[in-house]
Copies of this chain bind each other. A is one copy, B any other.
């Protein structure tokens, strides 16, 4: 006998949801006995969970090896030096688990392994003839997330497939990148996940171009935009359609107006409509230029004010902002900060070159404070904005005529219906979970760590790299999340811990015999089957079967007197009677369809 017995399996289902579970996959994977929490964001895997994990792992490996990737395996406990050379020791900030060994030597738990892969290729290879090469590992990664959540969806210890490509030039990188893109598409399809590929930012990774594979999920923590015409981007990477310079020849010169107490956009609009009404229409929030102050903090801890000017009817999206200035972060600009910078008048900040007093922001100013503006603030646009004096604003301040900025920053919130930057239509906002991320790193790591090879002319050239991550443990959660219902998990057949559960309903000897025989026959036919032989009520067995999510459930019980067993399909939520002597053939055809 080699089929599994439910009475022996190390699994117990729970009636109660775990207190900390926010999302269905977390709740159900714990309740159904797949995983257990060991510490915040750190999970233990029980036999059922490991079986699913192994199947996801196999799919990922098969597809990665199919594009020619060779497997290696790096330590999780790593020396500091390579990560210092690329500055990621610092840039990763508190997300990095750092420790000292018994000799006081600094070490880290690897969040991702660009440095190590770069060094191993440097160690082994020296000629363009050695390239291209793609290496991969499936390995435990560590990130000290500020808010680990949703069980294994965002953990602090997790399993990732990470691969890395090494090429002599950009064209080679593009080939490796495209291979991975297609490889990830196949993986997502085999996992049965609905997904979208979106333009992404590179974050701490660096590099030029990157895309994320997002599994669609209403409760996903990643927001993305897409247009009917095919534009798709992570909200951090989404951009605004570039505006055309405008003719400002008819715009009057700027004028300051008194706006007592108008420290919000709404109050300001009201005040200006009274003080300086325009003829064609009323002023609105979009006519105002809001200047928002943040304290920017570098990984080394250097702090400086950053002011962002954007239309008054938009807010700064902090996720977009942090992505744009990564690895720097921002903190609120607090009252002490305002006190330390008396030229910044809270509620009335504005760029300005009208008088020396107003010459605060922008390259023409002398404040030494960085001032960046939204792409909508194009040359020739005219604005109502702060006059850097309490209770005073200025109108008709024209970008490029009356003020300028230190650069463009595209970090305003994206709204449903905003135009796609490529003209492909209005944007739709949706949510997903990042399953994979592919990066064109370029030469960043190779340069920092000195990875060069001789080219065909005997000249040293720096290698061009790509890196490609896929969340293996996360995929288990995401498949659970996308296939479950209110009764429990409902695995697709290719990922289920067992294909078939046979429930012995009733205590008579015959039921047990028929069930055991069927289990044996299915096992011989290489179907993964578990026999629920436990001494509990049929009701408990049904409920567990639905909670655990076996695709096919065969009930051997009362029907036997009529010569039938019941075959239930978990995903379809259907049940039908099948004559005992046809059950094997019937189940086999279902399992193999």
Contacts and interface: CB of A to CB of B under 8 A. Distances in A.
A535 to B, nearest CB: 9
Given A10-B135, A11-B124, A101-B144, A38 B74 contact: yes
A41 to B, nearest CB: 9
Contacts of A157: 75-77
B102 A146 contact: yes
A75 B116 contact: no
Contacts of A44: 72-75, 116, 120
A42 B76 CA distance: 9
A50 B78 contact: no
A124 B77 contact: no
Interface stretch (A92-100, A200-208, A504-512): A92-100
Nearest to A135: B10
Contact of A47 (B10, B12, B70, B125): B70
A77 B42 contact: yes
A291 to B, nearest CB: 33
Nearest to A43: B75
A381 B133 CA distance: 75
A194 interface: no
Contacts of A575: none
A9 interface: yes
A45 interface: yes
A39 interface: yes
Interface in A132-188: 133, 135, 140, 142, 144, 146, 156-157
B99 A72 contact: no
A144 B38 CA distance: 22
Contacts of A123: 36
A121 to B, nearest CB: 8
A109 interface: yes
A71 interface: yes
Contacts of A109: 77, 99
A33 interface: yes
A187 to B, nearest CB: 20
Interface residues of A, number: 50
What's the number of copies of this chain in the assembled complex? Answer: 2
Contacts of A538: none
B124 A33 contact: yes
A46 interface: yes
Contacts of A142: 77
Nearest to A12: B124
Nearest to A96: B102
A75 B38 contact: yes
Nearest to A39: B79
A50 B140 CA distance: 16
A125 to B, nearest CB: 7
A142 B77 CA distance: 9
A73 B52 CA distance: 13
A325 interface: no
Contacts of A53: 73
Given A33-B124, A39-B107, A78-B38, A72 B46 contact: yes
A559 B77 CA distance: 51
A460 B43 CA distance: 29
A102 B144 CA distance: 7
A348 to B, nearest CB: 38
B70 A45 contact: no
A544 to B, nearest CB: 14
Contacts of A10: 70, 72, 124, 133, 135
Contacts of A76: 76, 140, 157
A79 B33 contact: no
Contacts of A36: 120, 123
Contacts of A135: 10
A33 B78 CA distance: 20
Interface string A83-121: 000000000001101110110000101000000100010
A7 to B, nearest CB: 9
Nearest to A80: B39
A79 B101 CA distance: 18
Nearest to A81: B39
Nearest to A144: B102
B98 A99 contact: yes
A259 B53 CA distance: 75
Interface string A4-34: 0000111110000000000000000000010
8 contacts: A10-B72, A11-B124, A38-B78, A44-B72, A44-B75, A46-B72, A77-B156, A94-B102
Q: Which 10 A-B pairs have the closest CB atoms?
A: A99-B99, A45-B73, A39-B79, A94-B102, A12-B124, A42-B75, A102-B144, A10-B70, A44-B74, A47-B70
Given A45-B72, A45-B74, A46-B120, 17 more contacts: A9-B70, A10-B135, A12-B124, A12-B125, A36-B123, A38-B75, A38-B116, A39-B75, A39-B78, A43-B75, A44-B73, A44-B116, A46-B124, A47-B72, A53-B73, A99-B99, A99-B109
